[in-house]
Structure 1
Amino acid sequence: MALPQENNSITYAEYLKLDEDIQYEVIDGQIFNMSPSPSVKHQAIAMEISTEFNIYLRSKSCRVLAEIDVCLCGEKDNSKVKEWVNPDIVIVCDKNKINKNRIAGAPDLIVEILSKSTAKTDRMIKFNRYQRAGVKEYWIVDPAHETIDVYILESEFYKHDGTYANDEVIEVNIFDDLTVNLKNIFREEIDPLY
């Protein structure tokens, strides 16, 4: 099945019929191609952040998931969903939002790791869409500069909580007792040959 040029002619149910190697996001009627695969550094950072979250969440009801489709509107019927994203990492505390193939509703926290092809989308388009959907906390990770910008939802708008770098520690706002030390996230430079 070929991907249509306009969002108004594709639903999430139709998207699921596409070749499994094809990944797209649809945001506010615009289709975004998700290829090529992320760089090794991108994937290593995602693994380190996921590990930090996973260790903390092992005995708790929230779940950390990576690269899963998220239908922010919360619609359960795939044939009615006309918008979805595929963040690098999500934390979901409402188990009713977790379905077999996707998340239906706004996650509690989303992490996006920038690449040259996604920086504008992550910083502007997704920022606004996540804010509108009610995602409580949004992290934008810049692998090139080894920084993380943290945004906290307050009164329906994101407040910039800070830009973190080096050995700084981020206090995860959605939890009272979780901190993430960036020295665990941005470890030694990964050899580009691997």
Structure 2
Amino acid sequence: MALPQGKNPLTYAEYLKLDEDIQYEVIDGQIYNMSPSPNVKHQSIAMELSTEFNLFLRNRSCRVLGEIDVCLSDEDDHSKINEWVKPDIVIVCDMNKIRTNHIAGAPDLIVEILSKSTAKVDKMIKFNRYQRAGVKEYWIVDPIHEVIDVFVLKNGLYKHEGTFAQNEVIEVKMFEGLSINLRNVFREEF
């Protein structure tokens, strides 16, 4: 699939006019193709993590969303937005950031599930961009090795809180009382 032609970077307004099946992210002026669709294991992990977050956050002031456009600035003029991402899971606790079709501003927590085509972007480019944007907690899930790296923003920089494997429990720093047993997340064989 060819990248859009024209001026660089692509604006969010231009992106919204593209075919619905075309999905791109734009980070620091670079366009990243989001194809192909995630595999079954990727989707299963995303659903299990979303379920864990949703069960805890139900009836609280935070929302759990999956694969929604996130414009890291709080700009509302789509023609002025030239950077957005589409994380696997986002948690937003400031309802003023939720728009009809996207999130405007940094979410509180982002989860990215690695694939062969996204590993470098998720581990390096998005890591640095989320840190600059002020995303409070960033999780990088490695579905092949069934581990999750958790990073928490402290004094403007991510601190690695640990690498958690299938038989471990993550105590979510952002939400006191929320523990996620990774046996529930990495429970299927594919």
The interval holding the TM-score normalised by the smaller chain is over 0.9
Which residue in the other structure is 1:84 paired with? 84
Is residue 6–residue 29 contact of structure 1 (8 Å, CA) maintained in 2?
no
Cross-structure match for 2:34: 34
Given residue 12 of structure 1, which amino acid in structure 2 is its aligned partner? Y
CA RMSD of aligned residues (A): 1.0
Which residue number corresponds to residue 74 of structure 1? 74
Aligned to 2:4: 3
Distance 1:177 1:6, change over 3 A: farther
Instruction: Report percent identity of matched pairs.
Output: 73
Kindly state the Cα deviation for residue 74 of structure 1 after the two structures are TM-superposed. Answer: 1.2
1:61 counterpart residue number: 61
- Any idea what SS the aligned residue of 1:140 has? strand
Amino acid paired to 2:46: A
| C-alpha distance after superposition, 1:51-74 (max 9, x if no partner) | 001111111010000000000011
Given the two structures, how large is their TM-score scaled by the length of structure 2? 0.97
Partner Cα distance (1:32, 1:46) in 2: 21
Structure 1 unpaired stretches of 5+: none
Deviation per CA, 1:58-103, whole angstroms, max 9, x where unpaired? 1101000000000001111111100000000000000000000000
Distance (Å, rounded) in 2 between the aligned partners of 1:117 and 1:5: 24
Q: Which amino acid in the other structure matches residue 3 of structure 1?
A: P
Query: Secondary structure at the residue paired with 1:132?
Result: helix
Q: Is the 8 A contact 1:92 1:108 kept in 2?
A: yes
1:9-28: CA deviations, max 9, x gaps? x2101100000000000000
Q: Which runs of 4+ in 1 moved over 6 A?
A: none
Paired with 2:132 and 2:99, the residues of 1 have a C-alpha distance of 22
Deviations 1:30-61 (A, max 9, x none): 00000000010000000000000111111101
How far 1:6 moved relative to its partner? 5.3
State TM-score, norm by structure 1.
Answer: 0.95
Deviations 1:106-144 (A, max 9, x none): 000000000000000000000000000000000000000
Q: How far is 1:5 from its partner?
A: 6.2
8 Å CA contact 1:7, 1:26 repeated in 2: no
Q: CA deviation at 1:188?
A: 2.9
**SS of residue paired to 1:54:** helix
Map 1:23-172 → 2, pairs under 5 A: 23-172=23-172
Aligned residues: 188
Report the Cα offset of residue 4 of structure 1. Answer: 2.6
Q: How far apart, CA to CA, are the structure 1 residues paired with 2:65 and 2:12?
A: 19
Q: 3-state SS of the aligned residue for 1:26? A: strand
Q: Which amino acid aligns with 1:83?
A: E
Q: Partner of 1:52: helix, strand, or coil? A: helix
SS in 1 for 2:130: helix
**Aligned equivalents of 1:6 and 1:186: distance in 2?**
42
